[in-house]
Amino acid sequence: MDKLMGALADFLASYGGWGIVAVLVILLLFFGDRLLTTIESFWAAFRNISSFTFKRYTSTRLSNQILHAAKVINSVNDDLLPYRVKVKWIKSENIESFLKSGQVIIKIGDDDDINKSFVIAVAEFVRQGLMHNVKRHLRDEPLVQAIDCCAVNKILSQAYIECLSYFQKNLLDRLLKNSDFAKHFELLRQIDYNGLFLPVFLNELTKAMRHFHSHYLIEDFEKETLSFLHYLVNFSKEKYKKLFYDGKYIRVAFGLIANQSFISRHGREAYVEKVRSSLSLGAQTVYLFGWEDKIKIVRQVAERTARADMRIKRVKAHPYRHVFEDHSAARAICMEMTTLDFEPSKNKVKI
């Protein structure tokens, strides 16, 4: 330990301020949430000394709560939301937020109602940070607002359900008076019940943007976004589903493991071949669904397919709660099998 501390001291002496920055970056990368919790604990210990330390404690605590709650979205795709947020208390009632260097800065008035502060902060975090590289291509403001609100609703329902009533009464109900917003929000809620909002819709929109340079504006991307949304709505409602979406920017296929008799007759390999066939037809990603006792089978099929087909670059599990038409719910899973390369330096094309 003495040698380690000595080496660290020599390193800091040699590199000065940049050495401190490097150490902090390493600590953040390796310890992440624990480091943020430690910072919160530090301010908690001194919160009663002055108004400054108390505000630093409450803002740090609120920032940590936001990041913790947002894990339900970031677990799907690293590009959906930033991993940094900073809350600043101001005396004005005007809310100000912006994205700077990958961090969302939120300036809100200090309020005794913690539910109000949390909901406002989450809403601003989502508004500024959610798919910021995608939303610039969407000109339909009610659509963008509906996507944001559906994401906020998802975060609150998964992490801080006690804040949902404030969100619905003070933010959502007001927006629902706009017929265009209400139409989009209802469609998004329908696909969310079927596990399609986060792991498929938002995921695919974000993945599509990885193909293009951020300086270019894709004029017809909004058209494809709406087309894909309506496809997913129909997919979630129709008994005989169209299992392939072949768009200009998004090409995905779907599979549903629900028929036990089919599994008994043909085995798991039949599903493996169906997935491989979809890839051969041009699908970039295949999503395989199942619920309750089929969850294990879905995982097995995805793993077998990945071993059998070298085109698959990544397999990821997205657990969710499937909501049926009678509003009953069941444990479910969506397995994502993609052929896309996620290296940031690749898959860049000019428009």
User: How does residue 25 score in pLDDT terms, banded at 50, 70 and 90?
Assistant: low
Q: Which residues contact 237 (CB under 8 A, 6 or more apart)?
A: 190
User: Do 205 and 260 belong together in one domain?
Assistant: yes
Within a domain: 97: yes
For the chain, the straight-line distance linking the first and the last C-alpha, in angstroms and rounded, comes to 55
The pLDDT assigned to 183 comes to: 97
The pLDDT assigned to 28 comes to: 52
The full length of the chain comes to 351
pLDDT tens figures, 270-288: 899 999 999 999 999 999 9
Q: Is the pLDDT of residue 216 over 80?
A: no
The pLDDT assigned to 239 comes to: 72
Within a domain: 346: no
User: Do 251 and 180 belong together in one domain?
Assistant: no
Using alpha carbons, select from 200, 245, 223 the residue that is nearest to residue 137: 223
Using alpha carbons, select from 109, 105, 78 the residue that is nearest to residue 92: 109
In the beta sheet, which residues pair with residue 345?
none
| 88-92, 280-284, 319-323, 329-333: range with lowest mean pLDDT | 88-92
User: Do 70 and 109 belong together in one domain?
Assistant: yes
Q: CA 163, CA 159: separation in Å to the nearest integer?
A: 9
User: Do 304 and 215 belong together in one domain?
Assistant: yes
Within a domain: 348: no
Range of the domain at 2: 1-45
The encoded tokens of residue 29 equal 């990368």
| 148-152, 211-215, 337-341: range with lowest mean pLDDT | 211-215
User: Do 180 and 207 belong together in one domain?
Assistant: no
> Which one of 165, 192, 219 terminates a domain?
192
pLDDT tens figures, 98-112: 898 889 999 988 766
Dihedral sign (CA 114, 192, 343, 316): positive
User: Do 277 and 227 belong together in one domain?
Assistant: yes
Q: CA 271, CA 287: separation in Å to the nearest integer?
A: 12
Q: What is the reported pTM?
A: 0.81
Within a domain: 106: yes
Within a domain: 227: yes
Neighbours of 33 (CB within 10 A): 12
Q: CA 211, CA 207: separation in Å to the nearest integer?
A: 8
The pLDDT assigned to 182 comes to: 97
User: Do 92 and 143 belong together in one domain?
Assistant: yes
Q: What percent of the chain has pLDDT over 90?
A: 49
The pLDDT assigned to 279 comes to: 95
User: Do 68 and 177 belong together in one domain?
Assistant: yes
Q: Is the pLDDT of residue 41 over 60?
A: no
> Which one of 192, 209, 225 terminates a domain?
192
User: Do 241 and 321 belong together in one domain?
Assistant: yes
Q: Which residue has the higher pLDDT, 138 or 111?
A: 138
Q: Is the pLDDT of residue 344 over 60?
A: no
Using alpha carbons, select from 137, 272, 154, 104 the residue that is nearest to residue 209: 137
User: Do 243 and 264 belong together in one domain?
Assistant: yes
The pLDDT assigned to 14 comes to: 58
Highest mean pLDDT among 7-16, 17-26, 62-71: 62-71
User: How does residue 348 score in pLDDT terms, banded at 50, 70 and 90?
Assistant: very low
SS3 of 1-45: the string is: CHHHHHHHHHHHHHHHHHHHHHHHHHHHHHHHHHHHHHHHHHHHH
User: Do 186 and 59 belong together in one domain?
Assistant: yes
Number of domains in the chain: 3
